Structure 1
Amino acid sequence: MPPRPPPPLPYRPPLPPRPYVMTVIWVANRENPINDSTGVLQISQDGNLVISDGQNSVVWSSNISTYVANSSAQIMDTGNLLLYNSNGGIIWESFLHASDSFVEKMKIFTDLSTKERNIMTSWRSLNNPGPGRFTFGTEPSQIPQAFVWKDGYPYWRSGPWNGQVFNGIPTTKSLYKRELHFVSDHPGSGYFIFTLLNSVLIYDQLNTSGIILEKTWSDKIRDWEVTWTSHKSECDVYGKCGNFGVCYTAGRPMCSCFPGFDPRSDDEWDEGNWTLGCKRRRSLQCGRNITGWGGGGNDGFLKMSRVKLPDNAKWYPMFETECRSECLNNCSCIAYAYYAGVGYMMWDEGLIDVQKFSSDGADLYIRLAESELGKEIFFNIHVALFRVSSMEA
């Protein structure tokens, strides 16, 4: 007798398709919203792109100063909205007026000579695209960096760009998904731009809290996934530990003073307020023949490994073998580093926004008076011996 066939499976209707994901990457009239559905986008008689309300009042314009006859507009696959003249030349584009998003082939730039900037500005709230408190951009210098500013003050910093990665951003998988470039056409100018690899869709968004979110499109969930964020801990807040303080996520507390430095305010430090930073225990001697505890008057250097290098570095053309003596012979030099892809950097003012990493990072050499350097060497040797004896026990 043939086996009985299995009972039929119950009918299950197919799942409805997910709603189409609307991703806003640019808003024209951020400061002048239209609170109903009467808004109209059109090309005006003078050739400008304009948005008008129900009373035919212009609430936004591309603001081309010269009259343009027979202009036309087109939105590209990149998301760039272009305005052309009658000869097909681009006379305005939305990519040069960034909103809160940084997408492929867009330039985030600053040009000090023309005082032109293209920066990202956060939304005021999740449902209000008006300009918020946070902006993102670059400061053109010999050592490029990216910043998030809060009300005009630094809130987050990338660390120096070495041509491939930012020193302050540990290696992420996105390095294999896109190529980021910094281009400087002339002194005082520079822009960041990226191109995508392997057909992966990625863009960056500056959210309402001042955090940069890297979003990658997932075909699996048919939505954007956050694959990187600029703020993984409190250590990512600019200057969390003040001048001459270093932040380490795994530290208890997370802030500590540089070797040879003490908190400026013990009371505030104990309360977890580290913004006043630290002060040097013993003044630098800078070659003076001064004696005291620990011997002579020479300065030396103590190496801090795997750190995000401080802000306000100065760059000079120098071989790596010359860095130590160059800094030592300069009484203004309080620290130096040699970072592959950048070269010699020195600091002559407070060392701020330093972070300790478990991997990656760079080596920073802190200048200390010889007496303090001796203490630190003794302390490190003592700790090392203690660890060895503990392991043997």
Structure 2
Amino acid sequence: MGKESKRASILFLSIFLFLHLSPLQHCTLVYNITPSQPLSPSQFLTSSPGEVFELGFFSPTNSKHRYVGIWYKKIFPTRIVWVANRENPLEATDSLANLRISLNGNLELQNGEQKIVWSSNISVMSNSTKIASLSDTGNLILRDGFQGETLWQSFDHLGDTFVPSTVVGFNVETGEKFKLVSWKNENDPSPGDFFVEIAPQRPPQAFIRSSNGLKPPHWRSGPWDKTKFSGIPEMDASYLNAFDLKEDVNQGTASLAYNTYSSSTVSNMIILPEGVLKIMRWNPNKSIDWCADWEAPKRACDIYGTCGAFGVCRNNRTPICTCLKGFVPKSTEEWSKENWTSGCVRRSELFCEQITSGLASEKGNMDGFW
């Protein structure tokens, strides 16, 4: 691929991945949401103390809906990293909506008709002041105003993006799963077709799965070997060593953390609507501000079960799928259409199978291994 074609492809990907906020004129900044100070569509909640992130109302490109989300404040193109009401959008023309702390102490999003479209939905004591603020790590936190106790936080309710200081994992005892869920498409943040999780097994490994529950998985990382995922050779590179998986067998928990170890590096991981997991990094010195450092699955053979049972996948061959020696396609019709997922079957029965079925001859060859 030529340099110009490659640059055009990257530009198209950048436009596809990163959403622009609809312009909101004359917006004011606030640092806290309190019972007496809700957030309106004309305001932004800014993270403190460094003003790294912003929370506010936005509309995806060509969308008739409005959402409350979090994005990097000083970085363009705007990158949405979390959405509150991804399943219950507001009308884009609803200028009377607000994000407020209700009488029951919850953080709630109301539309212009004062109907609740999203809530933190926790049981809290309503006889104390609650405060909602945004941290410089991008975490929206609801706190008890007197004791400072965290009552709810957005990091426990991930979207499609994995930013430093968040974790993906599970808790067997409580049944909790902290996973990434893709957008439906680039203009619709409602839950999409793919999600990323750490499976509750030993040793832990990461999977991209289809949200419709179909098996096998779309992609897997291979088991964690205490320093990296064995199925990701690139994890020997230094930038991927920022991942650390902690497992507590007694507690039944595992959590994958991500830390860039550099305040000057802005990067995150995102699961795209088509099921591709990417690590994206912002580099203001390049012609394309957001670039992909890593992605999976990257090639056809990276997708789990591309060639089915007893199939061999090679990206550098055409067709990419062949059968192991002694095997043939299970469905020649499907294979002729380059659908190899049905896999391969033995060309002839094993000698032990012939004995079981009573078809073995006395001169049959004993079974062995290639």
User: TM-score, normalized by length of structure 1?
Assistant: 0.65
Partner of 2:189: 129
Residue 190 in structure 1 maps to residue 254 in structure 2? yes
Q: Using a 3 Å threshold, how does the CA distance of structure 1 residues 191 and 292 change in structure 2: closer, same or farther?
A: farther
* Residue identity in the other structure for 2:164: E
Partner of 1:84: 143
Partner of 1:67: 125
Query: What's the CA shift for 1:232?
Result: 1.7
Partner of 2:268: 203
Q: Using a 3 Å threshold, how does the CA distance of structure 1 residues 266 and 182 change in structure 2: closer, same or farther?
A: same
The whole-number CA distance in structure 1 between the counterparts of 2:229 and 2:241 is 14
Q: Using a 3 Å threshold, how does the CA distance of structure 1 residues 76 and 147 change in structure 2: closer, same or farther?
A: same
Q: Using a 3 Å threshold, how does the CA distance of structure 1 residues 96 and 226 change in structure 2: closer, same or farther?
A: same
Q: Using a 3 Å threshold, how does the CA distance of structure 1 residues 284 and 191 change in structure 2: closer, same or farther?
A: farther
Cα distance per residue 1:35-58 (max 9 Å; x no partner):
133321111122111111111111
Query: What's the CA shift for 1:29?
Result: 0.6
Pick aligned residue for 2:242 from 179, 182, 186: 179
* Gapped regions of structure 2 (runs ≥ 5): 1-73
* Residue identity in the other structure for 1:75: L
Query: What's the CA shift for 1:190?
Result: 1.7
Secondary structure of the structure 1 residue equivalent to 2:338: coil
Query: What's the CA shift for 1:114?
Result: 1.7
The whole-number CA distance in structure 2 between the counterparts of 1:249 and 1:93 is 43
User: TM-score, normalized by length of structure 2?
Assistant: 0.69
Query: What's the CA shift for 1:196?
Result: 1.0
* Residue identity in the other structure for 2:95: S
Residue 143 in structure 1 maps to residue 187 in structure 2? no
The whole-number CA distance in structure 1 between the counterparts of 2:148 and 2:363 is 77
Q: Using a 3 Å threshold, how does the CA distance of structure 1 residues 224 and 77 change in structure 2: closer, same or farther?
A: same
Answer yes or no: is the 8 Å Cα contact 1:165–1:171 preserved in 2.
no
* Residue identity in the other structure for 2:122: I
Secondary structure of the structure 1 residue equivalent to 2:155: helix
Partner of 1:220: 285
* Residue identity in the other structure for 2:248: D
Secondary structure of the structure 1 residue equivalent to 2:122: coil
Query: What's the CA shift for 1:251?
Result: 2.3
Query: What's the CA shift for 1:174?
Result: 5.5
Number of aligned residue pairs: give it: 280
Cα distance per residue 1:52-104 (max 9 Å; x no partner):
11111111111112324212112111101111123111111101100110111
* Residue identity in the other structure for 1:274: W
Query: What's the CA shift for 1:282?
Result: 4.7
Answer yes or no: is the 8 Å Cα contact 2:228–2:241 preserved in 1.
no
Answer yes or no: is the 8 Å Cα contact 2:229–2:235 preserved in 1.
no
User: Which piece of structure 1 moves more, 108-117 or 118-127?
Assistant: 108-117
Q: Using a 3 Å threshold, how does the CA distance of structure 1 residues 189 and 246 change in structure 2: closer, same or farther?
A: farther
Answer yes or no: is the 8 Å Cα contact 2:106–2:124 preserved in 1.
no
Query: What's the CA shift for 1:265?
Result: 2.5
The whole-number CA distance in structure 2 between the counterparts of 1:167 and 1:260 is 29
Answer yes or no: is the 8 Å Cα contact 1:182–1:190 preserved in 2.
yes
Query: What's the CA shift for 1:259?
Result: 4.0
User: Which piece of structure 1 moves more, 38-47 or 165-174?
Assistant: 165-174
Pick aligned residue for 1:152 from 213, 223, 228: 213
Q: Using a 3 Å threshold, how does the CA distance of structure 1 residues 292 and 96 change in structure 2: closer, same or farther?
A: farther
Partner of 1:324: none
Cα distance per residue 1:260-284 (max 9 Å; x no partner):
4332223433432211112245538
* Gapped regions of structure 1 (runs ≥ 5): 1-17, 298-368, 377-393
The whole-number CA distance in structure 2 between the counterparts of 1:271 and 1:74 is 55
* Residue identity in the other structure for 1:60: W
The whole-number CA distance in structure 1 between the counterparts of 2:116 and 2:131 is 18
- Taking only the aligned residue pairs, the percentage that are identical comes to 36
Q: Using a 3 Å threshold, how does the CA distance of structure 1 residues 293 and 114 change in structure 2: closer, same or farther?
A: same
* Residue identity in the other structure for 2:220: R
Q: Using a 3 Å threshold, how does the CA distance of structure 1 residues 186 and 177 change in structure 2: closer, same or farther?
A: closer
Residue 104 in structure 1 maps to residue 160 in structure 2? no
Question: Map of 1:251-330 to 2, 5 A cutoff?
Answer: 251-280=317-346, 281-283=348-350, 294=365, 297=366
Query: What's the CA shift for 1:146?
Result: 1.0
Cα distance per residue 1:212-249 (max 9 Å; x no partner):
12101102037221121112222222211111222221
Answer yes or no: is the 8 Å Cα contact 2:87–2:190 preserved in 1.
yes
RMSD: 2.6
Cα distance per residue 1:324-343 (max 9 Å; x no partner):
xxxxxxxxxxxxxxxxxxxx
